[in-house]
Amino acid sequence: MSNVEIVLRLNAMGDILLTVPTLRALAENDTEVHLVINERWKALSDFLPAKIHLYNGTTSLIHLANELKRLKPEALFDLQGKLSTIALRTLINAPITRVYQKRTIGEQLQAIGHKYPLRFSDDRPIWQKYADVCGVNINNPNASLNLSNEYIEECRKILISEGLKEKSFIIIHPEASQVGKIMTSDLVTSLQKSSPLPTVIIGTGKTNFSCEAPHIDLRNKIELKYLPGFLSFASAVISTDSGPMHLARAVNTPLVSIFLQTAPSLGFSPIPSDNVLVISEELPCKPCSLHGQVDNCPEGHFKCRQINIELTTKQIFEFLSQFI
């Protein structure tokens, strides 16, 4: 009989996707893996390689804890470390309980106090830290999601309805949850002009980007449920440091990740692959925040957003030329 092990990682989309190599490695060890995520990310449930349980705020805490406790887990791994997961792991009281420590107290105070540039003692990628907490050794991380043939056919109908063909377009995801990660309109325009294929802009539509034929703007038109399949149909994805960046990696579409205010040294780079390029200019003041939330540059210049557009565009399409 398989051992039951529980992983807690409620938020955010990118962090949840960074658990995938660990979930797969645990399952290979004859383990029944259960993952707890926030109900906000329910649309991803069918694609993750674990049995999914949904957290829906403090009102669901007792019921969820009892549901998980009945599984009689051998081990519980808290990869969130927030009050909600502290309460859950305390109520479940698994024989083995391990907790992911994001940063030292000094490093946490540095981030809270807006000290910069942020330099942490452990700059390993987050996915690797998750694996260590869960006690698995991963040499070749498998970041892939489970996409059924039926699901892909559903997504294909959406593709056709938008007048698109598989592997005939490049997706640009220029936005992000925080202002310091968002691409400039000049960069988006340059990518469109230099792209060997029509581009499709995806995202929330909160930022004004020009988009003229043959390029199309599908922001706010692709539900999260269908986004993995849609990304898998693209020839390539060019994205900011964001959840869709990790989602593109999880469906193995050639990917270029652009880090502006944030930096790969914080550990949030996409899981490595031969078809992934990470672009991040090194600056003495970068990164000045954990998640790109600084909207007023502390140095007064925002050089992290003033990248060389011509050279960056050239670098991107030279890399992607081997996959398109």
How confident is the model over 253-284, as pLDDT tens digits? 999 999 999 999 999 999 999 999 999 999 99
Of 210-219, 272-281, 294-303, give the lowest mean pLDDT range.
294-303
Taking only Cα atoms into account, the Rg of the chain, rounded to an integer number of angstroms, comes to 20
How confident is the model over 45-60, as pLDDT tens digits? 999 999 999 999 999 9
CA-closest candidate to residue 280, choices 304, 259, 262, 309: 259
**Extended beta strands in the chain, E state:** 3-8, 31-38, 51-55, 75-78, 96-99, 170-173, 199-201, 216-217, 236-240, 255-259, 276-280
Cα 264 from chain centroid (whole Å): 13
Of 147-151, 170-174, 282-286, 313-317, give the lowest mean pLDDT range.
282-286
113 confidence band (pLDDT: 50, 70, 90): confident
CA distance 206 to 219: 9
The residue ranges of every structural domain in the chain are 3-133, 149-320
Give backbone dihedrals phi and psi of 75, rounded to 5 degrees, phi first: -145, 155
Taking 80 as the threshold, does the pLDDT of residue 2 lie above it?
no
1 confidence band (pLDDT: 50, 70, 90): low
CA distance 294 to 181: 10
**Mean per-residue pLDDT of the chain:** 95
Helix (H) or strand (E) holding 216: strand 216-217
Domain 149-320 CATH (choose: 3.40.50.12500, 3.40.50.300, 3.40.50.2000, 3.30.300.30): 3.40.50.2000
CA distance 23 to 32: 10
Taking 90 as the threshold, does the pLDDT of residue 239 lie above it?
yes
Domain 3-133 CATH (choose: 3.40.50.920, 3.40.50.720, 3.20.20.30, 3.40.50.2000): 3.40.50.2000
Cis check: omega of the bond before 244, within 30 degrees of 0: no
What pLDDT shows up at residue 102? 84
What pLDDT shows up at residue 238? 98
What pLDDT shows up at residue 69? 97
- The whole-model pTM stands at 0.95
Taking 80 as the threshold, does the pLDDT of residue 178 lie above it?
yes
Tokens of 307: 């990248």
CA distance 204 to 292: 17
CA-closest candidate to residue 316, choices 281, 284, 276, 288: 276
Averaged over 34-48, what is the pLDDT?
A: 98
What pLDDT shows up at residue 104? 85
122 confidence band (pLDDT: 50, 70, 90): confident
Q: Residue type at 45?
A: S
**Identical fold, 3-133 and 149-320:** yes
Of 32-46, 110-124, 154-168, 222-236, give the lowest mean pLDDT range.
110-124
